């Protein structure tokens, strides 16, 4: 579940190599590179899992481009209309499916990685305020459509749904501010199979008030039909108003609520959507609107970064991890590097539990007091962020560029090969400019504290496996 710039599912820009690329690197031959020239900057480049099929939208012409050979050659799918693409979404739990939304009622879907496309109709426009599609992690045919009714002077948000992959769509509820399946992640469960299949969670307007301070959290197990809805008790014995957002992080559901007449916020956590608890943070780290980022997390904890600096254009944060039920948070490391949009230099190594990398600001005092430029250093943890150490290359500290300085658009690998990590950076006291960086690789996720220097210049390009 996604909103604005605060909640996000982490895109890993440190390149995790596909098996094809690692096989090439294992030989003495140089990897084969192919260049494709476009008159525009490719946007939202997407790989279909376990394939060489890649797609993206040209943001100028609103056309979709597709490659079946990992980017060596491109063409526009013959079934799709020209100049109609508003957005392109790949199904997160069904690797052959994708959806192309338009600004009209007619949209397109594929079940074979974009080889062929079929029309489907939804009477309401896709939402411009949030992701229009949210997916059920246990049944790929169940999809929620967050849309807008623009028949009046203003566009009002409402929600539709399908249980058969858009063969039919039905009305769910109006006055919504985003709806989601409770089971939006494979590891989440309510403890009841029927509830897992049907339970939907929505943020809605208040009964008699349009103000955000009166927004509510509502749950239904019957698609809100016949007034079937429940407002859960987020705190002991009472419901909570002012709900701003809901997010799914592995086995946890998180609801954020704003307080009246203040910018302070509260988080409420559940691991079954039935019992909820208020999250407790160290007293010196208060949650404020637009000042915290919910990170990817693990199967047994939630990880959050909270901004704790007074320089809004050079923000820094503190990295915290919860206990197993997501209630109590402890501080792991301070002075994390983040940007003004709430993006944090934090990345997980795919395929291996417990390995994370993040960047910290070494000269935090000078940044805070004198507004000096940040001196950024990279750190790695092998126990989900409880202890950190330096990255290392030939006995020297290594620092890598991360998501606050991303130079590619969209995902850059086909399928992750566990332990293979590649990134742009440098050795020395702190991270230098991107164009002064070199290309480094580790084939054991940095376990031996060894990153291998591959190239003595940064490659400012999208990495697409050959």
Q: What is the pLDDT of residues 430-441, one digit of tens each?
A: 999 988 888 888
Average pLDDT over residues 425-431: 94
Residue 191 lies in a domain: no
In this model, does residue 464 exceed pLDDT 90?
no
Residue 273 lies in a domain: no
Residue 188 lies in a domain: no
Residue 14 is predicted with a pLDDT of 33
Q: 33 falls in which pLDDT band (50, 70, 90)?
A: confident
Enumerate the β-bridge partners of residue 64: 57
Of residues 278 and 31, more confidently modeled: 278
Residue 249 is predicted with a pLDDT of 92
Enumerate the β-bridge partners of residue 320: 304, 331
Q: What percentage of the chain carries pLDDT values higher than 70?
A: 85
Give the residue numbers spanning the domain of 402. Answer: 7-36+281-466
Residue 416 lies in a domain: yes
- The predicted-structure confidence for 168-212, as pLDDT tens digits, reads as follows 999 999 999 999 999 999 999 999 999 999 999 999 998 888 888
Q: Quick one: tokens of 403?
A: 């998501």
- The predicted-structure confidence for 95-104, as pLDDT tens digits, reads as follows 999 999 999 9
Residue 11 lies in a domain: yes
- Which DSSP symbol is given to 206? -
Mapped onto helix, strand or coil, the DSSP state of residue 74 is: coil
Pairwise CA distance, residues 225 & 392, whole Å = 58
Residue 378 is predicted with a pLDDT of 95
Residue 160 lies in a domain: no
Report CA dihedral (105, 106, 111, 116) to the nearest 10 degrees: -170
Of residues 409 and 147, more confidently modeled: 147
Residue 276 lies in a domain: no
Q: How far is CA 445 from CA 16, 70, 392, 420, in A?
A: 10, 24, 11, 6
Tokens 């395929």: give the residue: 351
Contacts of 73 (CB under 8 A, 6+ apart): 36, 67
In this model, does residue 416 exceed pLDDT 90?
no
The mean-pLDDT minimum among 2-6, 199-203, 239-243, 364-368 falls in 2-6
Which of these, 258, 260, 198, lies nearest to 230 by C-alpha position?
198
* Number of domains making up the chain: 1
Contact 10, 348 (CB under 8 A): yes
Which of these, 68, 70, 196, lies nearest to 138 by C-alpha position?
196
What is the per-residue DSSP string for 258-317?
EPTTSSBEEEEEESSSSS-EE-B--TT---BTTSEEE---BTTB-EEEEE--S-TTS-EE
Average pLDDT over residues 421-436: 90
Residue 444 lies in a domain: yes
Pairwise CA distance, residues 357 & 380, whole Å = 4
Answer whether 0.75 is exceeded by the pTM: yes
Mapped onto helix, strand or coil, the DSSP state of residue 434 is: helix
Report CA dihedral (166, 167, 169, 170) to the nearest 10 degrees: -140
Contact 305, 338 (CB under 8 A): yes
The mean-pLDDT minimum among 146-160, 251-265, 397-411 falls in 397-411
In this model, does residue 217 exceed pLDDT 80?
yes
In this model, does residue 421 exceed pLDDT 90?
no
Pairwise CA distance, residues 466 & 464, whole Å = 6
């Amino acid at each position: 579940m996604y909103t604005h710039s605060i909640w996000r599912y982490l895109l890993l820009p440190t390149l995790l190599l596909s098996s094809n690329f690692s096989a090439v690197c294992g030989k003495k031959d140089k990897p084969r590179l192919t260049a494709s020239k476009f008159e525009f900057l490719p946007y939202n480049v997407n790989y279909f899992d376990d394939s060489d099929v890649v797609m993206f939208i040209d943001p100028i012409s609103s056309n979709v481009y597709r490659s079946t050979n990992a980017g060596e050659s491109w063409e526009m799918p013959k079934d799709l209309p020209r100049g109609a693409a508003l957005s392109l979404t790949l199904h997160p739990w069904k690797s052959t499916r994708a959806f192309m939304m338009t600004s009209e009622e007619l949209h397109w879907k594929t079940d074979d990685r974009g080889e062929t496309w079929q029309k489907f109709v939804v009477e309401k426009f896709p939402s411009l305020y949030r992701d229009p599609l949210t997916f059920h992690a246990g049944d790929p045919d169940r999809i929620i459509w967050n849309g807008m009714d623009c028949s009046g002077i203003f566009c009002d948000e409402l929600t539709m749904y399908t249980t058969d992959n858009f063969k039919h769509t039905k009305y769910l509820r109006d006055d919504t501010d985003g709806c989601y399946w409770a089971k939006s992640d494979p590891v989440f469960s309510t403890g009841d199979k029927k509830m897992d299949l049907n339970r939907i969670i929505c943020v809605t307007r208040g009964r008699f008030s349009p103000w955000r301070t009166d927004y509510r959290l509502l749950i239904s197990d019957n698609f809100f039909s016949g007034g079937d809805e429940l407002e859960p008790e987020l705190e002991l014995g009472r419901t909570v108003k002012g709900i701003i957002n809901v997010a799914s992080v592995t086995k946890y559901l998180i609801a954020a609520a704003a307080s009246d007449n203040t910018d302070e916020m509260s988080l409420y956590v559940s691991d079954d959507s039935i019992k909820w608890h208020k999250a407790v943070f160290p007293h010196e780290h208060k949650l404020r609107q637009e000042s915290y980022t919910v990170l990817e997390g693990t199967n047994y904890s939630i990880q959050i970064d909270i901004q704790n600096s007074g320089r809004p254009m050079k923000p820094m944060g503190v990295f915290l991890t919860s206990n197993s039920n997501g209630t109590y948070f402890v501080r792991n490391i301070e002075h994390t590097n983040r940007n003004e949009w709430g993006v944090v230099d934090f990345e997980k190594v795919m395929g291996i539990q417990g390995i994370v990398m993040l960047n910290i600001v070494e000269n935090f005092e000078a940044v805070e007091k004198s507004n000096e430029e940040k001196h950024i250093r990279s750190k790695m943890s092998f126990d989900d962020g409880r202890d950190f150490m330096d990255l290392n290359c030939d006995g020297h500290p290594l620092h890598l560029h991360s998501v606050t300085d991303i130079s590619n658009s969209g995902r850059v690998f086909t399928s992750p090969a566990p332990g293979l990590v590649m990134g742009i950076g440098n050795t020395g006291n702190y991270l230098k400019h991107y164009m002064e960086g070199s290309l480094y690789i580790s084939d054991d996720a940095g376990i031996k504290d060894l990153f291998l220097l591959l190239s003595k210049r940064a490659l400012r390009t999208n990495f697409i496996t050959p």
